[in-house]
Amino acid sequence: MRSLLLTLLLSSAVPLFAESRTWKSADGASSFSGEYVSHDDKQVTIRREDGKVFTVAYTKLHPDDKTWVAAQPENAGGKAGAETEAAPDPKAIFDTLCFGDSIDTVKKKLKESKAVETTLDDTYLGRTGINGVYHTRQKIGGLHCELFFDWTAMDTLNEVMLQTQGQTADVYPTQLKDTWTQLVELMGALHGKPVQAGSYPGVKQVKDDMFLPTHLWKLQSGGSALLGVSMQQGAYLVVVRFTTEKVQPTALP
């Protein structure tokens, strides 16, 4: 399963392209294969391998499947009977974005993306750039993630960061932790087992202008992905950083 959403969501919120996957019952005792078609706030529509399309209530799905569905656009699989899209680039780091993409390519991919969106028109984007302009279409743990970019001297993509908007300390152990938890699960579904995994940091561990990573993945593209928490001007955020750097595991606090 690869795409980022979180594809975020979430890489690619998150695969965002139609493909068969294994679904489990709420208690994990049974499973079946099928292709995701769409979802709403009560149920998910799935196409079985024999072509039959049916809906399943969230209450009957395993928690892992509900997390996966939450990262998908509501109509990623198209209408019943429609052709599935081509498999995504295995080197994609988030949605269809790849390290080395030019600025123009990144803008084109963002505009065509099913995982992220912006409310600004092209004229405004030409004046402001794209940092902080796009966010995930679907909320992750109740929060959208905004996208920020870094470029090489040759104007090719060097880094992508997903981060929530700053939150107050009182929601750090609740809503922000929910977003962190769902992103951990989503990243695991997209990029496999992390090479390093830690627990959710206590609020007193996070200092201003500090990124405190808890998880590290080695990417197929050759780079790394780090997930953790940060503080900016007294506000708390959950951050996922995709970088061309080959980050090595370190001692966790």
Tell whether 65 and 108 lie within a shared domain: no
Does residue 78 sit within a domain? Answer: no
Q: Are residues 223 and 117 in the same domain?
A: yes
**Is 6 part of any domain?**
no
| pLDDT (average), residues 132-158 | 93
**Same domain, yes or no, for 114 and 237?**
yes
Say if CB 225 and CB 191 are below 8 A apart: yes
Q: Is the pLDDT of residue 58 over 70?
A: yes
Residues 214 and 142 in one domain: yes
Please check whether residues 37 and 130 belong to one and the same domain: no
Point out which residues pair with 226 in neighbouring strands: 216, 241
What angle is formed at CA 30 by the lines to CA 29 and CA 36, rounded to 5 degrees? Answer: 130
Residues 123, 60 share a domain = no
Confidence of residue 49 (pLDDT cuts 50, 70, 90): low
Domain assignment of residue 111, yes or no: yes
In a domain, 141, yes or no: yes
Q: What is the C-alpha separation between 37 and 81, in angstroms, rounded?
A: 10
User: Does position 151 have pLDDT exceeding 90, yes or no?
Assistant: yes
Whether 109 maps to a domain, the answer reads yes
User: Is residue 59 in a domain?
Assistant: yes
Containing structural domain, residue 123: 103-243
**pLDDT recorded at residue 84:** 39
How far is Cα 13 from Cα 145, in angstroms, rounded to an integer?
9
Judge whether 87 lies within some domain: no
pLDDT at 75 over 70: no
Same domain, 140 and 49: no
Q: How confident is the model at residue 1 (pLDDT cuts 50, 70, 90)?
A: very low
pTM of the model: 0.68
122 token code pair: 């092209």
Instruction: Count how many domains the chain has.
Output: 2
CATH of the domain at 34: 2.30.30.700
Residue 46, C-beta contacts closer than 8 angstroms, at least 6 positions apart = 23, 34, 35, 36, 37, 53, 54, 55, 56
Instruction: Kindly state whether residues 227 and 109 are assigned to the same domain.
Output: yes
Pair 35, 137 in one domain:
no
**Does residue 126 sit in the same domain as residue 50?**
no
Shared-domain flag, residues 124 and 30: no
Task: Provide the pLDDT for residue 249.
Answer: 87
- Split at pLDDT 50, 70, 90, the class of 4 is very low
- Torsion 93-96-98-102 (CA) sign: negative
Residue 12 in any domain: the answer is: no
Q: Quick check: helix, strand or coil at residue 103?
A: helix
Do 129 and 230 lie in a common domain? yes
